[in-house]
Chain A
Amino acid sequence: MTTSTYFYTLDNGLTVHLKEIYTAPIISTWVWYHVGSRNEYPGITGISHWVEHMQFKGTDKFPAGALDREISRVGGLWNAMTYLDWTTYYDTLPAHLFEIGLASEADRMVNSLFDPKEVDLERNVVISEREGNENQPLFLLGEAIQAEAFTHHPYRHEVIGLMEDLQTITRDDLFNHYRQYYQPGNTVLAIAGDFEIKTMMDKIDFYYGSLPKGKSNSYQTNPEPWSEAEKQVTVSGPDPTSYVQIAYHAPKASDPDFFLLSVLDSVLTGPSSLNMFGSGSTSNKTSRLYRALVEGEISVSCVGSLQATLDPYLYSIYLTVHPEHTPEDVLQAVDQELDRVLNTPISQAEIDRAIKQARALFAYSSENITNQAFWLGYTEMFASYDWFEHYVDHLCQVTPEQLLAAARKYLAPQNRVVGFYLPEESQQ
């Protein structure tokens, strides 16, 4: 496969990542803003996600619905996502029609209207989205765990935001948040697909070169202090099934320890797919916790989740409790397995296996152009593209001794929040 990449920065601060790929006649364009729930505080939780919704509500040039029509009528795929550290907008279009995406993203970076009537309608839509989430027990449990795990860091709130804030955020709050973070210096434009780099650079200069630079905007957070004791949280609801979530404070993606925890994750619960966009995975039935918990019939499922974030976030283990067992049984069985990891070095064979798994997962994620463009920008939100390119190399350097030290540092009980979701009738 012939590919060529080129990275550069415009005078106004816009970071540009380009990758030529000639495997299909399409181009995928992603605009990544360094803004997410990490940039929020009590009173405006959920605002980054709501701003993302408002970005579909029109500019003078592309009134509400016009862009949707333009992109959809050429068969384009487009959407947006907001997460802890970032908000991203993407479109994948037939190569000869891709320019509409480039033009519209430049336009809505600075010209979105935030019409008060649209703000009110969208308030109900976002509240409805939250209510849909509230129907899920694991959302309720996750929300409680985040609030317990972080005493002051903004990661203590779900991306969707608190209901009381969704009811009171104003049009001006939204517009100010937009103005503060939607500017070239806070943005990565990543494009992959069927184009020539030089031609693409001219087009980018045409659409983005004249956008005003704006104020510098690096949002600082204070690190969450290490917890000195295990925390516990219990939520209850109508579902008759009990769930356990065990969340450990994890290193940030740019910390070398992240690669160690990534191997521990593979060994304990099977490899997490680091691609938030989904591109293939492997099952986890030979992982240590699955064997002990699910094969041992103490839980009926066991899933791990490690995420690449800008600040230290959480490594979570999710377990659905077997009907003949209690959440306490599950926790005890998890702890027995963790004791092994905390006391006995992991074999080189298990490390090698984690490396092969990572190699396969990364190969899957380069199967299509949309995914390649995703990686081109995504990694800039918490590290750099280099992180992606050398991910497997980093895993190859991991030793059993390093893993033992990392397990003792990150998987110790005092570093975790244990959450139980219990059926309402079983509550004392």
Chain B
Amino acid sequence: MNASILHHLDALPSAKNITRVVTANGITVLIRQNFNSPTLSIKGYVMSGSIFDPDDKLGLSYLTASGLMTGTTQRDFQSIYNEIESIGASMGFSSGTLTTSFSAHCLSEDLASILQLMADSLRNPVFPKKEFNRQKNQMLTALKIRSQDTSEMAALLFDEIIYAGHPYQRPDEGYEETIQAIKREDLAEFYQSHYGPRGMVIVIVGAVDPTAAVDAIKQALGDWENPHQAFMPEIPPATALLETIRKNHSIPGKSQVDLVMGGLAPDRYSPDYQTLRVGNNILGEFGMMGRIGQRVREESGLAYYAYSSLSISLGPGAWELIAGVNPKNLEQCIDLMTDEVRKFVSEPVTEDELADSKSYFLGRMPLLLESNSGVAISLLNIEHFNLGLDYFLHYPELVQAVTAEEILQASRKYLDPDRLAIAVSGP
């Protein structure tokens, strides 16, 4: 096209242009420089999550993560946010099931301030009583709001069905009664026994010199130790359903019903991973939401959104078909989606569908890797799932290798039209 081609030759993140360092105390640091804009995206995680929550205090990890920035031995709540907001930056911590992630966005001139704040929040939180009470009340209100949200309640119900008896059945945010049971001291204890540098990953992408960035991280976190940091428990497998199970959650007064149906999916290390990604794309993602969107929205006009989604991480994943419909169209929508599942596990996808979908994944790559935050997320995944720094160089081969027959065989392992989880929430 023009001279810019030369700039793009090294555009893909790879071992050649990613700096990766593991500090003496176990923190993996990944830096990718990009001077196209004067900004930085900082992302990472520590190995703490709701998997460690006791059943009667579910939500403890969630509250602990959001309490990190409510006060430290060095700064009170207002000082922390004054430093962040006065430079137009953002920074936050959030607990998931297996990790607690953090994310910051700032002008590159403010890297040192943000790293100091991040280290202070991670290393010296004091969970002030006043802020804890406020935070707890905010959480209780958020849960009340969740209880009226049809899509969230349907998603929760779906997890209860497919992960029955499994730790993933539990929502990270907990329930009203489990949040009520949590005391400030619980946060401090949870922090002491679960936060530490072992397994921590931090990624910085943007206008920064990699050596200077690594030095800054070492200075902020290099001497952090926690001999009490717990080890991640083994994640048990989940059991597939033996029959279709349907659960309804009524929320009177709403206009629309939300529907989530589907089954389990494998973990990220499964040889079926790439196959299922392509398969799901054809089923309910490609273009205007794939086959599901075509059938439910385009041909039947039943829903504004109707699509499928594959959640794959560590431990058992989920394969969901999702739609929001008028209550009078619910049964028809379930029938149509079940029918699409039946077709999907009966015959291989067409060669055209397969070629389109592969082409989609390859063409989308430069778009996903265009922004600093997009690259940062990709590098986190590379590290989290141990994919190797040259993953993107091999990625086209992985996509191209998928066949229609493999999609059929892999999908049959996870989606069965006669053994579906069906969760419905609405009026």
Chain B, residue nearest A120 (CB): B301
Pair B370/A65 contact, Cβ less than 8 Å: no
Chain A, residue nearest B285 (CB): A72
A residues near B (Cβ < 8 Å) are 1, 22-26, 56, 64-65, 68-69, 71-77, 92-97, 120-132, 134-135, 137, 194-196, 237-241, 270-271, 280-287, 291, 294-295, 297, 300-301, 320, 322-324, 353, 356-361, 363-364, 366-370, 424
The yes or no answer to B372 lying at the interface (CB within 8 A) is yes
The yes or no answer to B148 lying at the interface (CB within 8 A) is yes
A-chain residues with CB within 8 Å of residue B228 when the two chains form the complex: none
B residues near A (Cβ < 8 Å) are 1-5, 7-8, 11, 35-39, 77-78, 81-82, 84-90, 92, 105-107, 134, 137-138, 140-142, 144-145, 147-150, 251-256, 286-288, 294, 297-305, 324-326, 355-356, 359-367, 369-374
Complex CA gap A270/B82 in Å reads 12
The listed residue (A77, A92, A130, A240) touching B144 by CB distance below 8 A is: A240
A68 to chain B, nearest CB (A): 4
A-chain residues with CB within 8 Å of residue B355 when the two chains form the complex: 73
B-chain residues with CB within 8 Å of residue A357 when the two chains form the complex: 85-86, 88
Complex CA gap A123/B304 in Å reads 10
Complex CA gap A320/B146 in Å reads 13
Query: Known pairs A322-B137, A356-B88. 8 more at Cβ < 8 A?
Result: A73-B359, A131-B256, A134-B256, A283-B90, A285-B85, A300-B142, A359-B88, A367-B373
- With A22-B7, A131-B256, A366-B37 as known contacts, state yes or no: A282 contacts B298, CB within 8 Å: no
B-chain residues with CB within 8 Å of residue A72 when the two chains form the complex: 286-287, 356, 360
Pair B301/A194 contact, Cβ less than 8 Å: no
A244 to chain B, nearest CB (A): 14
- With A25-B4, A301-B138 as known contacts, state yes or no: A134 contacts B367, CB within 8 Å: no
B-chain residues with CB within 8 Å of residue A270 when the two chains form the complex: 85
A-chain residues with CB within 8 Å of residue B145 when the two chains form the complex: 239, 241, 320
A-chain residues with CB within 8 Å of residue B106 when the two chains form the complex: 360
Complex CA gap A184/B144 in Å reads 49
A-chain residues with CB within 8 Å of residue B82 when the two chains form the complex: 286
A-chain residues with CB within 8 Å of residue B37 when the two chains form the complex: 1, 363, 366-367
Complex CA gap A294/B131 in Å reads 11
A-chain residues with CB within 8 Å of residue B11 when the two chains form the complex: 24-25
A-chain residues with CB within 8 Å of residue B253 when the two chains form the complex: 237-238, 424
Pair A65/B4 contact, Cβ less than 8 Å: no
Pair B359/A77 contact, Cβ less than 8 Å: no
- With A23-B36, A75-B362 as known contacts, state yes or no: A282 contacts B137, CB within 8 Å: no
A-chain residues with CB within 8 Å of residue B287 when the two chains form the complex: 65, 68-69, 71-72
The listed residue (B254, B297, B370) touching A24 by CB distance below 8 A is: B370
Pair B356/A69 contact, Cβ less than 8 Å: yes
Pair B366/A94 contact, Cβ less than 8 Å: yes
Pair B86/A353 contact, Cβ less than 8 Å: yes
Complex CA gap A128/B426 in Å reads 14
Pair B137/A297 contact, Cβ less than 8 Å: yes
A-chain residues with CB within 8 Å of residue B144 when the two chains form the complex: 239-241, 323
B-chain residues with CB within 8 Å of residue A95 when the two chains form the complex: 1
Chain A, residue nearest B90 (CB): A282
Instruction: Provide a sorted-by-A list of 22 A–B residue pairs whose CB atoms are within 8 angstroms.
Output: A24-B366, A24-B369, A25-B11, A56-B288, A73-B359, A74-B359, A75-B361, A77-B367, A95-B1, A121-B301, A125-B297, A125-B303, A132-B305, A135-B256, A237-B253, A238-B252, A297-B134, A300-B138, A360-B39, A367-B372, A368-B371, A370-B370
Pair A76/B39 contact, Cβ less than 8 Å: no
Chain B, residue nearest A243 (CB): B145
The listed residue (A65, A128, A238) touching B325 by CB distance below 8 A is: A128
B425 to chain A, nearest CB (A): 10
B-chain residues with CB within 8 Å of residue A294 when the two chains form the complex: 134, 138
B67 to chain A, nearest CB (A): 14
A295 to chain B, nearest CB (A): 7
A265 to chain B, nearest CB (A): 13
B-chain residues with CB within 8 Å of residue A130 when the two chains form the complex: 255
Pair A73/B87 contact, Cβ less than 8 Å: no
A-chain residues with CB within 8 Å of residue B256 when the two chains form the complex: 128, 131-132, 134-135
B-chain residues with CB within 8 Å of residue A369 when the two chains form the complex: 370
B-chain residues with CB within 8 Å of residue A280 when the two chains form the complex: 90, 105
Pair A368/B370 contact, Cβ less than 8 Å: yes
B367 to chain A, nearest CB (A): 6
Complex CA gap A56/B288 in Å reads 10
Pair B141/A322 contact, Cβ less than 8 Å: yes
Chain B, residue nearest A297 (CB): B134
Instruction: Name the residue in A128, A297, A361 with the highest tally of chain B Cβ atoms < 10 Å from its Cβ.
Output: A128
Complex CA gap A188/B19 in Å reads 43
A-chain residues with CB within 8 Å of residue B367 when the two chains form the complex: 26, 75-77, 92, 94
Complex CA gap A294/B148 in Å reads 22
A-chain residues with CB within 8 Å of residue B326 when the two chains form the complex: 127-128, 131
B300 to chain A, nearest CB (A): 7
Pair A123/B88 contact, Cβ less than 8 Å: no
9 interchain residue pairs of minimum CB distance = A75-B363, A360-B88, A238-B253, A121-B301, A75-B364, A22-B4, A124-B301, A129-B304, A131-B255
A-chain residues with CB within 8 Å of residue B298 when the two chains form the complex: 64-65, 121
Pair A320/B141 contact, Cβ less than 8 Å: yes
B-chain residues with CB within 8 Å of residue A286 when the two chains form the complex: 78, 81-82, 85-86
Instruction: Name the residue in A22, A76, A127, A320 with the highest tally of chain B Cβ atoms < 10 Å from its Cβ.
Output: A22
B-chain residues with CB within 8 Å of residue A196 when the two chains form the complex: 2
A-chain residues with CB within 8 Å of residue B373 when the two chains form the complex: 367
- With A75-B367, A121-B300, A123-B301 as known contacts, state yes or no: A282 contacts B88, CB within 8 Å: yes
B-chain residues with CB within 8 Å of residue A23 when the two chains form the complex: 7, 36, 370
Pair A358/B8 contact, Cβ less than 8 Å: no
A-chain residues with CB within 8 Å of residue B252 when the two chains form the complex: 238
A351 to chain B, nearest CB (A): 12
Complex CA gap A294/B137 in Å reads 11
A62 to chain B, nearest CB (A): 13
Complex CA gap A19/B3 in Å reads 16
Instruction: Name the residue in B355, B366, B369 with the highest tally of chain A Cβ atoms < 10 Å from its Cβ.
Output: B366
Chain A, residue nearest B8 (CB): A25
Complex CA gap A364/B11 in Å reads 20
Complex CA gap A378/B420 in Å reads 45
Chain A, residue nearest B7 (CB): A22
Pair B251/A125 contact, Cβ less than 8 Å: no
Pair B8/A73 contact, Cβ less than 8 Å: no
Complex CA gap A76/B140 in Å reads 41
- With A124-B301, A131-B256, A238-B251 as known contacts, state yes or no: A356 contacts B86, CB within 8 Å: yes
Chain A, residue nearest B138 (CB): A300
Chain A, residue nearest B139 (CB): A300
The listed residue (A96, A120, A241) touching B141 by CB distance below 8 A is: A241
Chain A, residue nearest B253 (CB): A238
Pair B141/A97 contact, Cβ less than 8 Å: no
B160 to chain A, nearest CB (A): 21
B-chain residues with CB within 8 Å of residue A74 when the two chains form the complex: 359-360, 363
Complex CA gap A381/B84 in Å reads 32
The listed residue (B78, B255, B294, B360) touching A75 by CB distance below 8 A is: B360
Pair B140/A24 contact, Cβ less than 8 Å: no
B-chain residues with CB within 8 Å of residue A120 when the two chains form the complex: 301
Complex CA gap A271/B107 in Å reads 16
Chain A, residue nearest B141 (CB): A300
A-chain residues with CB within 8 Å of residue B255 when the two chains form the complex: 130-132, 134-135
